[in-house]
Structure 1
C-alpha cells in the first residue's frame, strides 16, 4: 500500500483546486495526459481559505468544495482558475468520468500534478469504492484541460482584504469561465486618458499603488480558444470600493 504524503512548497498554503460545474458532454476520445494524484485531509472535507492563488473563502466552498492543488500546471499563477477533468486509472475502483476541478492553489506531492481534497478524491471512485481508493494514497491518473462554466455567475472582481482605500488596491478574479488564462490586467487612469498596468502580486492577485479616484475600469489580456485578446469591464469598481467585497462585472470571458 502506498501511504499518502506530500510536501507543501509554501508553508501557508494547503493546496486547493476546486471542482466546478463544467460542460456536461465529455468525450473519451480526446487526448489525456498521464500523471499521479494524492489528497489532503481537512476536518470538514472543504477547501481552505488560504492558498497560492489568493482566492480566499471562494477556494473553500466553490462547487461543493471539490478541491485539489497543482504543481507544474500552476504556471507561476497564470494557471489559477483553469479547469481540468481528472480520472484515476484503477479500473476496478475508479469511475469513468472522474472529477472536474479548477486550480486554486499550488503544491508539490510525490510526482503528482494534483493534490485533491478528500471530497474531490472520493469522487474519482466508483460507488462504495472510496475507502478502497483512499487506501492507495497516491494513484495514477489521466487529465485534460476543459472549459469552466459557472451557471448564474458573471466574472467578478474581489477587492483583496489587504487593500487599503484609497492608497493601495489589490484584486482577485473569481468565476473565470471558458478555457482562459489571464496574462495581464490594466486599470484606466481617466485624468491621463491612459491605461496603467497592474502587477501580478501572486497567483490570481493583481495590485497597484495609488489607484485613481472615482469608479475604476479594468481591462484583461486573455489567452484562450480565440487566441490572445483584451476584455474590458467599465466602471466595475465603485468610487468607494471596499476591501473584501466582490463586484459583479456583468460580463464573462469568452
Structure 2
C-alpha cells in the first residue's frame, strides 16, 4: 500500500486479485505497490471476493461507529512501511507527531491522496485480545486491495494498540498464514471520523520536493489539524494579488508547472475538505531549496474526517498474520533452459490487462493494446527491481490445477507487487493468467486463486514496426526533463539513460525517477533536439539520434528508428 515517490497514482499499486488478500504497500523510490496473501477455501476453488468500495468518507463527525476490516503490515512494532514513509509522501511517520500510529486506507478512505492526513478512532471487540478501547490513527498510506468496503491496513504498532494490555502480539497473530486447518480470522473493526489534533508546537508544514526549480514547484503539505486532509492548494508570489492553483500530483504532494519562472517568497493557501481556507504568508522563502522543509505559523482548527458505511467479505478458510516471505535473488539478464518456481495470482478484470486504467507502476499506458496486448504482470522485488525490471519478458506456465495447459506464454513486466506470497510472485493480468489454461478452461483457472507456476526470463521480441519509444512526461520544461522509455527489445529493461544536446559531445546522465521514467534536473536550460542513449541490463548501448525535436512538447510520444536486433 505505500508508495513514496511516483504519481502512483503511479503509482502503487494494489489490485483486486484472484484471492482473498491482506494488502500492504511498502514505499521505495517513487511509486506504490501491491500486496497479496491468500486464503484458499475448501477443496474447491477460491477466487477473490469482489468487494465494492463504500461511499467516500467525508468531513462529517458524529458518535456513530461504522464497520470495517483491519489488517496490519510492516514490522510488528513498526510504523508500517520499511522506510517510514507511505503513499502520501510523508517521511518519518514513526516520529512525532504521527508516532507510528498510521494506516493505509482503501479507496473511500485514501481517496486518491485527498484522504492523506485524516484521522480516525479505531477499536475492536473481537477476538478476545481486543480491548474495545478506541485509539487514534492517521492516514499516511494507501491500500486498494481491500477485503471489505472499508479496510484499514494499520501499522504493526497501531494494530497492537487496539489490544488489551500485554495482548498486542496475540492480536497481531490474527491474519493469513499457511497452516493445517482452514479458519479465516480477519479482525472486525469499527471506526468513526474524528478531528485531527496535534501538539501546539506542531504547525502546518511544507516540504519542497526534489527536482523543484523556478519552473516546477512541488510541495508536500502535512500536519493539518481539523479536517486533516487537503482538497486545494494555491500559491501567491510576493507582491502579486494572484493566487495560482496547484495541481494534485500524488498523495499529499501538489505541484505547479509554469513556463515563466516563479519568484519567492511564496504564500500558500490550503483548503480543507470542510471548506476552511488557511493562509501561510511568505511560508516559502525567496531562496528556497529543493528537498527542504518549511514550517508555517498556521494550525488549522476546523473539521474533517471520515465516517461511512460498510460491507464485508470473508473467505472460508485459513488464518493468520501477513506472511513474511523473503524475496529470492534478483532475476538478471541471464537466459537459459532452466525453469524456476513461483506463485501466480491475477488482478483486475478477468479478461483485462490488470490495472483499471491499463497502466501500472512502470508508467506505461494502454498496456491492453499492441504490443503488450494485455499480456502483462506485476513482479515482486527481485523481478520489478525498483523499476529496473520494467519491460523485461518472461515465459510462464502452470501444470496444476487440472485447468493448466503446461504450455508457456510470454508476459511483460509492467507493474509492481511488494507484498509477495513467495520468493518469486507474478500477479498477472486476468488475460495473461487465463492464457496459461487449456482451451476453454481460462475461467476455471482464474477461479483457482493462488497457483504454483514456473517461469524463466526470455529476450523480448517486438514486431518489426515497433521501435524504442520515448514519452516526454507532463510538467517537463527546459530545466526539468523526464522521459519514459518503452518497447526495448532484447533484455527489455533499461539500467541507464543519457541525453546529449545538439552540437554537444557531452552525454548527460539521467536519474531514475520511478518505474521506467528517467529524469534530468539542471539549473541551465537544455536545448533540443536531443539524442538519447539507453543501456540495457546486459550493457548493450543504443543511441536514438535527435529523437526528441527542438520544439518538443510535454505529454508527447516520440518514436525512434532503432530497435534491438
What TM-score do you get using the length of structure 2 for normalisation?
Answer: 0.39
The counterpart of 2:236, out of the listed 166, 172, 188, is 188
Q: State the Cα distance separating 1:119 from its structure 2 match.
A: 0.9
Distance 1:180 1:134, change over 3 A: closer
Q: What are the equivalent positions in structure 2 for 1:1-254 lying under 5 Å apart? A: 5-6=22-23, 8=25, 12-13=31-32, 30-42=63-75, 45-48=78-81, 49-55=84-90, 57-62=91-96, 63-71=98-106, 72-90=108-126, 92-107=128-143, 108-111=145-148, 113-137=151-175, 138-151=186-199, 152-160=201-209, 162-190=210-238, 193-210=241-258, 212-224=262-274, 228-254=275-301
Which structure is higher in RCO with an 8 Å CA cutoff and minimum separation 6? 1
Cα separation, 2, equivalents of 1:44 and 1:114: 17
Cα separation, 1, equivalents of 2:77 and 2:133: 25
Q: State the Cα distance separating 1:10 from its structure 2 match.
A: 8.9
Q: State the Cα distance separating 1:60 from its structure 2 match.
A: 4.0
Gaps of 5+ in 2: 1-19, 35-61, 176-185, 302-565
Q: State the Cα distance separating 1:123 from its structure 2 match.
A: 0.6
Cα separation, 1, equivalents of 2:147 and 2:273: 30
Cα separation, 1, equivalents of 2:283 and 2:220: 13
Residues 4, 38 of structure 1: 8 Å contact kept: no
Bigger drift between 240-249 and 191-200 goes to 191-200
Aligned CA RMSD, in angstroms, stands at 2.6
Gaps of 5+ in 1: 16-28
Q: State the Cα distance separating 1:68 from its structure 2 match.
A: 1.7
Cα separation, 2, equivalents of 1:200 and 1:127: 41
What TM-score do you get using the length of structure 1 for normalisation?
Answer: 0.82
Runs of 4+ in 1 over 6 A off after TM superposition: none
The number of residue pairs the alignment matches comes to 234
Bigger drift between 102-111 and 138-147 goes to 102-111
Cα separation, 2, equivalents of 1:129 and 1:4: 24
Q: State the Cα distance separating 1:9 from its structure 2 match.
A: 11
Q: State the Cα distance separating 1:232 from its structure 2 match.
A: 1.2
